[in-house]
Structure 1
Amino acid sequence: MMSMKTLNRRLTLAAPLSVALLTAGTGLAIGSTNGSATAGSMGDDTLTVSPSEELPPGMIDLKGGKVTMGSTPKAIEELMTNASNQKMIRVLDGETPEHSSRVGSFAIGKYEVTNEQYLEYVKATGKRPPENWAGKALDEARAAFGKAEAEKAMADKSYDRQKWDEAKKDAWWRSNWQEVDWAIPEGQEAMPVCYIDFDDAVGYARWAGLRLPTEEEWVFAARSDKKSVFPWGDDWNGEKRAHTSETGSEKPRPVGSFPDGASPFGVQDMAGSVWEWTADPYNPFKDFKPNTYKFKKSSGKEKVTPEPNFNSSFRIIKGGSPQVPMLAARIATRQGAKRTQTTNAVGMRVASSVTPGVDRARAIWETDVQPSQARTQGEVFDFDGVVALDRWSADTPDKRADGYSVIKGYDHILFAPRNEFETTPGGELNRESRKQPVVLGIFATTVPILEPALAPGTYFVAYREKGRMMVSGAEEMPAEGDEKKKEGDDEGEGEDETPEAGDEIPLELLTPAERLLRQIDLKKDLLIFTTVDTGEYVTSMEFPQIKTDVKATKADDGEIIFSKKAAFDENKEKIQEDWMKFKANIRRSSSRVIPIEFDMKVDGAALGTKWRTERISPTGK
């Protein structure tokens, strides 16, 4: 059993993935080993950087293609011959119209996320565990609630006695989970995690460097480019293929218990088992219009024009569960669920974009950058242009289904360039950067960077041209190298009013932007790193004046280049330093870019192995 106090102690004592992996003594190298790109050779050890085809643990790679979504009104009407199906007409009508779409390449979890996989997230983050991990505590809470209600009824005969329902149980758990013991029920480690709401599912996926699938991705993973009703085809015979109410038991089963029910790609448990959260809001399909259905009832034929309960604040769940029949296990079924809903019938599956770092960059945008008050320029970022390294730590427990892994942690080093600039003349953009540094992108890392000195974290990366900041209505003072003020000029005219380091105003009383001017070298073109949450200055590095009107080429997708640089240590001994060059581009138009290129020194021996990247130049050229 585990309580929050125990968990907090473990979180304090346990080293994070980025620290734990830094203990692996490996060198940085440039070369190629067993088909994997590496960064070179220093003895026998290498920093291995794998091709992007290397998948996250437990995932299946899907190349994408055409996908058929939804159902025709005729198909819905045919389902109405079953009287029990008629009660579901509002939900079923929400599947219309049938239409085709295309999905890009992606990866999806072969299995639903299990209890033991979710436990790693809870231990690493201190987030709330599912309530069914604390059955004894909930039983005691229910008994205490019932006793209190009985006492109220005894004291006041008019008192309307309350029942302990799912809502009250959920509310109690959210308020009290940190004070009680909890553990995965014995024997349920490999069963689908449930009692997680939408934000819980998103939280796990982001921690693992992954995301939730979209509805279209989920459907494509279930049926490929076919129109099959179920993952295995059109005929039911589901008792041996899916865990729905037809099996006669609501008892959970370990993932992979119905291998004959796999999709064409080998994805398991997409029919029955648990409903699965998707990323999409429960909105109507494009071109949806009200339909009128005719079907027989005991009282005769009836015409119905249902109104689906669409709600953009709901999220779509797919797949069905042991509590519902095969009707819900159809691939086309789409059900809306409240984001805060937690039940024993709703779980999750993860997905991944093909480009390393993209999912993590989007998560950083949504959780850290978009709501930040330090995002003063309204910047947005080009996630398709992300350049990144990433890697997972995972275990494969004994006696588990084939292809099953438990993710222990996720590391990344990434740069996401700004999406685009307005068509500002290049010279003006450089001059404007003196008033306020121009944000070029986001840099995020879970491992320390030696030069510039950056601790694990997320940073705005901004450019500032050398020179003194102008105040409104005043001339700009020349910086070093500019034309000097002539003798006899009026000293007061054009005088720089920017406070100097010795001025009376304490740093803590200045705004972050004002403090920045005290902390940087105004005589150099700089790349500046500030914290995403507050905009506080962290460090800077000299940076060539940006070129703002470069013709785009096919090679302008960005890359990371690894290299060795000769240097001398404190004993004046010659050494080889390990460097990473990030190359990315900010689009100004379809044919013009602003190229961004900067170097970072890393500890190759401490950085560890098995980093994955799509954009790598193995030769360092």
Structure 2
Amino acid sequence: MESNKPACCSASRNAIQSNHRMPANDLMPSNGESDKSTEQMILLPGGTFLMGTNDQEGFSSDGEGPVREIEVSSFYIAPCTVTNFEFKQFIHATGYKTEAETFGWSYVFHLFVSEAASMNVIDSVRHSPWWLAVEGADWCHPSGPDSGIEELLDHPVIHISWNDAMAYCRWAGKRLPTEAEWEYAARGGLVQKRYPWGDELKPGGKHMCNIWQGKFPLKNHASDGYEGTAPAQSYDSNGYGLYNASGNIWEWCSDWFSPTYHIEGKKVNPIGPSTGVSKVVRGGSYLCHKSYCNRFRVAARSRNTPDSTTGNMGFRCAADVH
């Protein structure tokens, strides 16, 4: 299948011309105050797995296929994405300023923008007009300047750029997973299944992930329990203990995005091309729907520029085994 349907992550930040200065790439170093322990992380023994898909639902132009055997070494990965509570600790310890805060705006899904915050809308994305550029939207004001995270501390942090995620990882003594590690972990030991739990989206009628329920982008019935983000530890975990590897939020990986690198690239601990324009994001989000983007499948992939921030992008940490 060709990728004629856009992903539910927004356009890149440079889709809107901003007068704000681009933040420097001098990411926040560790100051020794963070928790560098891997105690709460999952240790995955190295092994081989079948990465990608030849499924007719896959988007070949995204580089989902062909299926190939990939080997990864042992690594640690977090069972959940980084939460607002955890990111708040990082901010308090370091004084780090996210890129959304530096630029002064971020992309918010139109249904979450209040009447008051609509006065702060500076633009929309041309081909995805449901994404609004809202002044004052950032990780602690996820829907605009009149919103907060007090009731969302166990939800994944959002409006996080790849650069922000890297800054947090450096402080925490961790790193972002490679795309291969992410898919190895997300599959949970299953072989070539469509989702982290199997091939059926709702086995026995049970909701297994947080995705769009209704007619996109106008009405979300939220029959899975959540209109926006769900708590980071929601639904059943997969066979390796990961939560929300499908849906909820897009997760940054360390790799530069390429639709062709994997065909001739390394098959042992691949790290993606050495350069690029956009970074890989994985897992889909609460805005994904089969009729729209269908990228909450475990083999699906998308991209965004490293400085881009949206109301459905965050990250989970990985770490080396020493």
TM range (shorter): 0.5 to 0.7
Written as runs of structure 1 = structure 2, the 5 A alignment for 1:471-550 is: none
Residue aligned with 1:313, SS: coil
The 5 Å alignment of 1:423-442 reads none
- 1:167–1:216: structure 2 CA closer, same or farther, 3 Å change rule? same
CA shift, 1:65, in A, is: 0.4
Residue in 2 that maps onto 1:187? 151
| Aligned counterparts of 1:185 and 1:123: Cα–Cα separation in 2 | 15
Describe the shift of the 1:324–1:164 C-alpha distance in structure 2 as closer, same or farther (beyond 3 A): closer
Note the alpha carbon deviations across 1:457-510, whole angstroms, 9 max, x for none.
xxxxxxxxxxxxxxxxxxxxxxxxxxxxxxxxxxxxxxxxxxxxxxxxxxxxxx
**1:82-136 deviations in whole A, cap 9, x for unaligned?**
xxxxxx6643xx2121101100000100111111111111111212256699x9x
Counterpart of 2:256, as a letter, is: P
In the alignment, structure 1 residue 242 sits paired with structure 2 residue 209: yes
2:167 to 197, 203, 207: 203
In 2, the alpha carbon distance for the partners of 1:141 and 1:329 equals 29
Q: What residue ranges of structure 1 are gaps of 5+ in the alignment?
A: 1-15, 22-53, 81-87, 147-161, 289-310, 356-621
Distance 1:242 1:141, change over 3 A: closer
| 2-structure distance, mates of 1:141, 1:182 | 7
Q: Percent of aligned pairs with the same residue?
A: 28
Alignment-derived partner of residue 348 in structure 1: 315
Distance 1:236 1:330 in 2: 9
Aligned equivalents of 2:281 and 2:233: distance in 1? 20
Does the CA-based 8 Å contact 2:162-2:306 persist in structure 1?
yes
CA 90–101 in structure 1, closer or farther in 2 if over 3 Å, else same: closer
Structure-2 change in CA distance of 1:182 and 1:125 (3 Å): farther
Is 2:53–2:192's contact at 8 Å kept on the other side of the alignment?
no
Greater strand share, 1 or 2? 1
1:255 is displaced (CA, Å) by: 1.4
Deviations 1:297-339 (A, max 9, x none): xxxxxxxxxxxxxx92211111111111253111110112111
1:258 to 226, 235, 239: 235
| Aligned counterpart in structure 1 of residue 299 of structure 2, from 324, 328, 332 | 332
CA apart distance, 1:173? 6.1
C-alpha contact 2:137 2:145 (8 A) present in aligned 1: no
Letter in 2 for 1:256: Q
Aligned equivalents of 1:59 and 1:215: distance in 2? 18
Structure 2 CA distance, aligned partners of 1:274 and 1:163? 23
Shift of 1:265: 0.8
Paired residues for 1:16-415 under 5 Å? 56-72=38-54, 75-76=55-56, 79=57, 90-91=61-62, 94-129=63-98, 143=119, 163=123, 168-169=133-134, 184-223=148-187, 224=189, 226-237=191-202, 240-246=207-213, 248-249=221-222, 250-259=227-236, 262-283=237-258, 284-287=260-263, 312-325=276-289, 327-355=294-322
Provide the rounded CA distance (Å) in 2 between the counterparts of 1:128 and 1:140. 25
**Cα distance change of structure 1 residues 65 and 167 upon mapping to structure 2, 3 Å threshold:** same
* More contact order relative to length (CA 8 Å, sep ≥ 6): 2
Quote the Cα distance in structure 2 between the aligned partners of 1:252 and 1:173. 16
AA aligned opposite 1:265: Y
Q: 1:55, 1:124 → 2: CA distance?
A: 17
CA contact (8 A) 2:48 2:70 kept: yes
Separation in 1 of the partners of 2:295 and 2:174?
27
Distance 1:181 1:325 in 2: 28
SS at match of 1:68: strand
Q: 1:67 to 1:168 in 2, by over 3 A?
A: same
Answer whether contact 2:117 2:146 (CA < 8 A) is retained: no
Whole-Å Cα distance in 1 between the matches of residues 312 and 261 of structure 2?
A: 25
Q: Is the CA contact (8 Å cut-off) linking 1:96 and 1:285 kept in structure 2?
A: no
One-letter code of the match for 2:263?
D
* Counterpart Cα distance in 1 of 2:40 and 2:310: 25
Q: Is the 8 A contact 1:66 1:225 kept in 2?
A: no
Distance in 2 (CA, whole Å) between partners of 1:57 and 1:139 is 44
**Paired residue secondary structure (2:173):** coil
- Listed as ranges, the gaps of 5+ residues in structure 2 are 1-30, 109-113, 126-130, 215-220, 265-274
Aligned-partner Cα distance in 2 for 1:273–1:116: 17
SS at match of 2:170: helix
Task: Give the CA deviation at 1:226.
Answer: 2.0
Work out the number of aligned pairs and report it. 247
Q: Secondary structure at the match of 1:240?
A: coil
Per the alignment, in what secondary structure is the counterpart of residue 234 of structure 1?
coil
**2:47 partner letter:** G
In 1, are the aligned partners of 2:194 and 2:297 still within 8 Å (CA)? yes
Greater helix proportion? 1
Rounded Cα–Cα distance in structure 1 between residues aligned with 2:240 and 2:160: 27
Q: How far off its partner does 1:344 sit?
A: 0.9
User: Where does residue 20 of structure 2 map in the other structure?
Assistant: none
The 1:252–1:65 alpha-carbon spacing in structure 2 relative to 1, beyond 3 Å, is: same
Q: Distance in 1 between matches of 2:186 and 2:281?
A: 14
